[in-house]
Chains A and B, each alone.
Chain A
Amino acid sequence: MPPVESLWVYLAERPLLWLTLTVGAYVAAHRLYRGFGELAILNPVLVSVVLIIAVLRLSGTDYATYFEGAQFVHFLLGPATVAIAVPLYRQSQELRRLWRPLTAALLAGSLTAVLSALGLGWLLGLDQATLLSLVPKSVTTPVAMGIAEQVGGLPSLTAVLVILTGVVGAVAGLPLLAVLGIREATARGLAMGVAAHGIGTARAFQSSERAGAFSGLGMGLNAALTALLVPLLLYLLKLV
């Protein structure tokens, strides 16, 4: 085997290469995003995912091999989710003041997410398994997969749809809210978390700590509420 090829075989089997690719692609994507004046469509998550998939396809690497390196980054999602308690604690006075509007907006948003997915998907003729997999799309991945499984959707399809929803929210969310004239960090943040879970929350943190804290709150509460609402609504609509 020629030296270059044997070096490739050596590196491709080890986590370091894929860990470096993950961080490297993100750094490049982030520079690109900054370079173009934070143009929404150049969202760093979207661009890095596209870049990495291209590299994996071209090099014939499967996801399992890639994930052996990427898991070190993926692991930090857990502690980072716990860390959202810090900005949330810094906003606790405001939380106490706003609990009523928060509860109402959360309920309205959660119902809209579920019912609009059901309604639009039904109108556009999606089959039942796909439709049920789409229903929990606005909820953080582990909860969404659990809901899909419970109601007869396909959990692995749901995982993909959840990620795509997060990317749509991160790309289009803040521009949409700006067009609607909504400038309050509390309303913008909560909406990002309820509609687009963690990926929306990550985007909200880039806009301000206050928006990020409310987004994290929306993400957590919406996960619990949707898990309770979906089985109940489907039962009432006689879909399950």
Chain B
Amino acid sequence: MLEALMLLLGCQLLGEVLAGLLALPVPGPVIGLVLLFAVLAIRGGVGDGVGELANALLRHLSLLFVPAGVGIMRHMDRVAADWLPIAATLVGSTLLTLAVTAAVMRALTRESR
């Protein structure tokens, strides 16, 4: 388990360093994801330790967004001033994006079968 934790933290750290040095338009942990994927591909398997740790972290991924979510309280007044057009744009655009992405994906996977 400790080795698995070290692997995850190491990938994240290297990801942060690369993102910073190369001024990449992607955050460090996402580069870390790519690095871990490469490690797993080279190893040819996930391994028990990494598998268990990943499951534990991802099972309650929602919890990890709560502190950032509470940050909304700092900007409530700014959003409140224009809330109706902001809410309409945000909800409309998000639902449209969901529908278009899923529809294109499904239409093309059906064709390729």
Contact = CB atoms under 8 A, between A and B. Distances in A.
A224 B25 contact: yes
B62 A202 contact: yes
Contacts of B70: 49, 52-53, 56, 63, 66, 70
Contacts, number: 314
Interface residues of B, number: 73
A84 to B, nearest CB: 5
Contacts of A20: none
Interface stretch (A4-12, A215-223, A232-240): A215-223
With most chain A CB atoms within 10 A of its CB, the pick from B69, B74, B101 is: B101
A168 B72 CA distance: 14
B54 interface: yes
Interface residues of A, number: 109
B22 interface: no
Interface string A186-214: 11101110111011011101100000100
Interface of B: 5, 8-9, 11-12, 15, 25-30, 32-37, 40-41, 46, 50-51, 53-55, 57-75, 78-79, 82, 84-86, 88-106, 108-109, 112
8 contacts: A70-B70, A79-B12, A116-B97, A124-B84, A143-B27, A159-B71, A160-B75, A223-B25
Given A77-B64, A81-B30, 19 more contacts: A70-B67, A77-B65, A80-B61, A82-B33, A83-B57, A86-B40, A87-B58, A124-B84, A126-B85, A138-B97, A156-B74, A157-B79, A159-B71, A177-B99, A180-B102, A182-B103, A187-B105, A199-B69, A224-B26
